[in-house]
Structure 1
Amino acid sequence: MKKPKKTIMGVLILLLAIGTGGYLWKTVRSHEPADDGLTLYGNVDIRDAQLAFKEQEVVREVLVEEGDTVTQGQILARLDSDRLTSQLKEAEAQYAAQQEVVRRLTNGTRRQEIKQAEARVVEARVQVRNAARRVRRLEKTAPVGASTEQDLDDARASLDMARAALNVHQESLALAREGTRKEEIAEAKQVLEARDAHLSLLRQRLADTVLHAPAKGIILSRILEPGEMAMPTRPAFVLALSEPKWVRAYLPEPALGHIRQGMTARIHSDSFDDRFFDGRVGFISAQAEFTPKSVQTAQLRTQLVYEVRIWTDDPADELRLGMPVTVTISVPPSIAQSENPKKGFRPGMEG
């Protein structure tokens, strides 16, 4: 009875070994480079942006935390805006006052003001006629001693003054009928434009007290806190942009002539099993360099390589900064076989 049990146990162990071996073989095969492609190993790279306020003011509130995903235009933080709000109200009042000045000058002299000027001219003419009659009387009485020469001189002076006053009122009437000078209207309009520009500036400064996300991304660092002083030279956040996203890898010098910008590629990460991301060669360095120490074995560090960037689309934002990935680029089989060693290397391996 014991022999069948041993046989069953042996069969189970054999089946388990076969299953394990098959799984390991499949796993290894899924990570081996394709026979028809050049395999490179690199890391996911993205751009980050340091976001700062344009205004120098105290931070009122911060609305996001580190690790939060933000969308383009989302409000991240606000500054205290009381001082700018008061300046804006003052500028609005000055602009409205200057608008009234321009309107008054453009409309010209009112009809009632012209009638007043005409009445002053009539009055001045009456004064001239009265002064002239008095001069004529004194000219008759002075020779016979009925009046003095001084009285005659005073009368003549009064006549000259009346005539001068008449000329002044006549010119005033002409100016009233002509209206405001064009130069005065132009000056008032220029002042109005200056008020408007100052108003626009204050409105823009007030809008700049709110910090928006320039693009979709993830908050890497939250640097400023409420109560701290913000300024243009001091970042408030560091934002990792979701786009563009690429893989930074290094191309062996013999394969350089077979790689072109725009070539398609497949990107694989150990984090996603059998899933692949589509990519394309977007950048090939024009300058050779020795393989960076941090991404190759000691033997391969002495080889000349060229940095390449494989751009990829990742709308779900699954590829993260620094993630190690495998890139397969379609090239002629001879190149792929000569440049894909039996034992592949991965970033961070040391000899």
Structure 2
Amino acid sequence: MPKNPKGKMKWVIGLIAIAIAVFIGFRYVKGRQSRLPEGIVSGNGRIEAKLVDVAAKEPLRVKEIVVNEGDLVKPGQVLVQLDTTTLESSLAEANANLAAMQESLAVAQASIARQKSEIELATIEADRARKLVAQGAGSQRELDVRTSQLATTQASLAEAEATVKTSRQQIEVARASAATIKTRIADATLKSPATGRVLYRLAEPGEVLAPGGPALTLVNLEDVYMEIFLPASEAARMKLGSEARLTVDFEPDRSIPGYVSFVSPEAQFTPKQVETKSEREKLMFRVKLQVPRELASRYVERIKTGIRGVGYVKVDPSATWPAQLQNVITAEAEPQSRR
């Protein structure tokens, strides 16, 4: 018997209708699962970290760079050594000047001791001459000579004491100069200011760095954050310190705890003339979600900046995190193996 084409068409239409219903139901269920509870907002962003330049304070030649791009560095680790030959010569000269001034001080102090002894003797002789004149057994001329010698010796003592004072001041200046040169020599050893990774190597041995010229750029892996953009209506409800969660695209089933550390006081996307409500709704504000330093320090070897993800913020402290954000990474947990 010939097949009924109308019946076949009904079956096909029925199957299509069932498939559409299943698809719509699946999308509805997924939408219900991913829908955020009231009081929680979200925005797209990426993992970022502060950049730190390792730079020279003064123009010096690069002697050695001991790290390469991609190396993980710790606070205080030596990264770059600049040539300090000229500074070391200046330090040797400053130390020689300091030694000469200390010798001059010793001579002036010895002169004071001698002058004090001479004053004692001149005082005794002047007193004796005065008594002899009073008794009529001495001449006035002798008394005048002894009195003049005493005054001269006392003036010499005052001069020697002034010399000692000046020498001490000069020694302090020389010590400060030597200390300054030592500090400059110490500053020629460039060390890491934080735990981070070398992002750029900007100089090579033999190059002369300008004052403030960077030799390396580091990514500070202890200062990690995500920036998201939220509408004005949501940003207005947000407070500094509000609880946050961060997820990354390659591992969406785990979340990173954080907090709001910055809300921009100015809109990032502002129409030239904000007059209507529809235009005001276009205002977007930058929000910074900071990862706690102790958590970032725990996972420094796994942190990769530039990875995209989603940031979530509680604008209502009483809101409850949804199930997909309950699997939180903590500082106490053992880091997983590097991917």
Please give the TM-score of this superposition, normalised by the length of structure 2. 0.66
In structure 1, C-alpha distance between the alignment counterparts of 2:160 and 2:155, rounded to whole Å: 9
Across the two proteins, how many residue pairs are aligned to each other?
263
After TM superposition, the structure 1 stretch with the greater mean CA deviation from structure 2, 70-79 or 43-52, is 43-52
In structure 1, C-alpha distance between the alignment counterparts of 2:83 and 2:236, rounded to whole Å: 58
Q: Could you say which structure has the larger radius of gyration?
A: 1
In structure 1, C-alpha distance between the alignment counterparts of 2:151 and 2:237, rounded to whole Å: 92
Residue 134 of structure 1 corresponds to which residue in structure 2?
A: none
2:37 alignment partner AA: D
In the alignment, structure 1 residue 75 sits paired with structure 2 residue 78: yes
The correspondence for 1:323, drawn from 297, 304, 307, is: 307
Deviations 1:209-258 (A, max 9, x none): 11111111111111111111122142111111123221110112222333
Residue 324 of structure 2 corresponds to which residue in structure 1?
A: none
Asked if the contact 1:223/1:237 (under 8 Å) is kept, the reply is yes
Asked if the contact 1:106/1:180 (under 8 Å) is kept, the reply is no
Asked if the contact 1:57/1:229 (under 8 Å) is kept, the reply is yes
Residue 245 of structure 1 corresponds to which residue in structure 2?
A: 224
Residue 51 of structure 2 corresponds to which residue in structure 1?
A: 48
Unaligned segments of structure 2, at least 5 residues: 1-22, 130-140, 272-278, 321-339
In structure 2, C-alpha distance between the alignment counterparts of 1:254 and 1:175, rounded to whole Å: 85
The correspondence for 2:257, drawn from 272, 278, 286, is: 278
How big is the shift at 1:173?
4.6
How big is the shift at 1:75?
0.5
What is the root-mean-square deviation of aligned Cα atoms in Å? 3.9
Give the share of equivalent positions with the same residue, in percent: 26
Structural mapping, 1:120-269, within 5 Å:
172-175=152-155, 178=157, 180-269=159-248
Secondary structure at 2:262 match in 1: strand
How big is the shift at 1:167?
8.1
In structure 1, C-alpha distance between the alignment counterparts of 2:173 and 2:31, rounded to whole Å: 73
Residue 114 of structure 2 corresponds to which residue in structure 1?
A: 110
Deviations 1:116-163 (A, max 9, x none): x97xx9xxx9xxxxxxxxxxxxxxxxxxxxxxxxxxxxxxxxxx9x99
The 1:166/1:328 distance shift into structure 2, 3 A limit, reads closer
In structure 1, C-alpha distance between the alignment counterparts of 2:32 and 2:290, rounded to whole Å: 22
In structure 2, C-alpha distance between the alignment counterparts of 1:198 and 1:104, rounded to whole Å: 23
How big is the shift at 1:57?
2.0
Secondary structure at 1:245 match in 2: strand
In the alignment, structure 1 residue 32 sits paired with structure 2 residue 16: no
Asked if the contact 1:33/1:328 (under 8 Å) is kept, the reply is no
1:78 alignment partner AA: Q
Secondary structure at 2:253 match in 1: coil
The 1:257/1:94 distance shift into structure 2, 3 A limit, reads closer
1:309 alignment partner AA: K
Asked if the contact 2:221/2:303 (under 8 Å) is kept, the reply is no
Residue 332 of structure 2 corresponds to which residue in structure 1?
A: none
Residue 99 of structure 2 corresponds to which residue in structure 1?
A: 96
In structure 2, C-alpha distance between the alignment counterparts of 1:243 and 1:291, rounded to whole Å: 33
2:238 alignment partner AA: I
Asked if the contact 2:247/2:310 (under 8 Å) is kept, the reply is yes
In structure 2, C-alpha distance between the alignment counterparts of 1:249 and 1:274, rounded to whole Å: 20
How big is the shift at 1:109?
3.6
Please give the TM-score of this superposition, normalised by the length of structure 1. 0.64
Asked if the contact 2:48/2:226 (under 8 Å) is kept, the reply is yes
In the alignment, structure 1 residue 309 sits paired with structure 2 residue 312: no
2:309 alignment partner AA: V
The correspondence for 1:58, drawn from 61, 66, 81, is: 61
1:254 alignment partner AA: S
The 1:231/1:196 distance shift into structure 2, 3 A limit, reads same
